[in-house]
Structure 1
Amino acid sequence: MLVKRISLVVFVLCLTITFFNSDYAYSEISNDTSSVKTLNKASRTISFRDLYQRIYSGKATLEQVKLALTTKDSTKLVNTMHALYAMRWHAGVHNLLYKMWEIDKDEAPKISWDLIEKPPVRIALASTINRIDILKSKDIREYIRSFKYDDDVLNRGQALVALGLNGDPVDVPYLEEMADSNNRYLTQIGVSSLAFMENSTAKESLISLAKKHYDTPRGKLILDVLSRSYNVVPVSKEEYEKANAEENIN
């Protein structure tokens, strides 16, 4: 869906990585994350965005995935973890996801373990594993829910995304609470996460929020999400104003 695509696409600065023929060589990313130390002077480079798009489209190789995971930028790692859902068909990537969850470093010693083994990257990893194997991921979902009220809003934001993608109506009240909060970051993610759910409970929650915040930037965002994700326009501006007028009279 378009909303999911927009929410998970990363707009990043170019990160150059080594490229051999049709595949990527394993390299080390420099400390400033703007370039890599190439292993072959004859190699040409490609942006991190292009590499990410290969992963997101499900066309990356295992070595390309491992190389993307060497970045020291936690935001890029978070988005890459979500994008790896598109690579779930790849046995090597599937195995790597579980190795990362178990913190088994032998499979890929050069990836950014210092970031992968802690939130928010680990929450994004948990989300992807949960989506792949939802029937066997109870412990992983409990891990995700443990960050619902974390002091770090980035961790809380990833919990929101993960619970939205999980799609369990039991989490709708929490997502609605965050979408109705005063934190703009959590508001936007809360609204998007209600769209990710794709169920009637989440839809009704968004309709309720749209009516509450109708004539505000938040209301416009919610109306747009409702239209794109649920093909719903809950009320026109004229109907909204009429209802408000009647309520004031009463």
Structure 2
Amino acid sequence: MTIDANKNQAIDEVAVLAEPVRRRLYEFVATAAEGAGRDAAAAGVGINRALAAFHLDRLVAAGFLEVTFRHLGQRRGPGAGRPAKIYRRSDRELMVSVPQRSYDVAAELLATALDSAGTEDADKPRLAELAAAAHRLGASIGEEARRRAGPRPSRKRLQVAAMDVLAGRGYEPRMDDSGGLILGNCPFDALARRHRSLVCGMNLSIMRGVLDGLRERGVIATLDPQEGRCCVILEQRPR
């Protein structure tokens, strides 16, 4: 088997994350809603600031993180000091498969076909079948989380187990100030950018299935598209 130059480059780039401290820094920054400065990142993974700066800038050079600048304190204008360097996850996607696979091409073709089907009444059952399949997948995810939570789990244990399982699926869940759940990453982002209605509807069905699998009646899944995260949020059911 011969590995071409492009694949060699991709393997080298992925290898940047093989260093354990660097990978922990990437994961910390990737899940920070507003990004993270050097001090916060260093404290978050338990290393000194200089080492954090070295690894963060290495991740920027590799394209995994991007940099913005902003003041972190309340003070603005003269005397506020220099803005801090803030690191955020970039939009770049990098996949390596040996031997080469093109699942993304198959997904794009299927999504295009379903998008086209959605314009014809006679083909709408296909979209209903997609929603049903997505709901079944979500239910299996929710059931897995419920098993992990143990017998007669509290709501807190269910929440922790659900976040753990969803994290394993690439959703990067985090709590918001109202007690709801934000999904910080869309595992289908590239498809969602080209087929937003189709993919967001599929994600909504998945999350509704998750809640059914958890047997959680106090939370609902709703669409709330925002840049840089999944279009679905989980929030407390209105009383």
- TM-score, normalised relative to structure 2: 0.24
- Give the number of the structure whose residues are more often helix, by fraction: 1
Q: Could you state the TM-score of these two structures normalised by the residue count of structure 1? A: 0.23
* Bigger relative contact order (CA 8 A; separation at least 6): 2
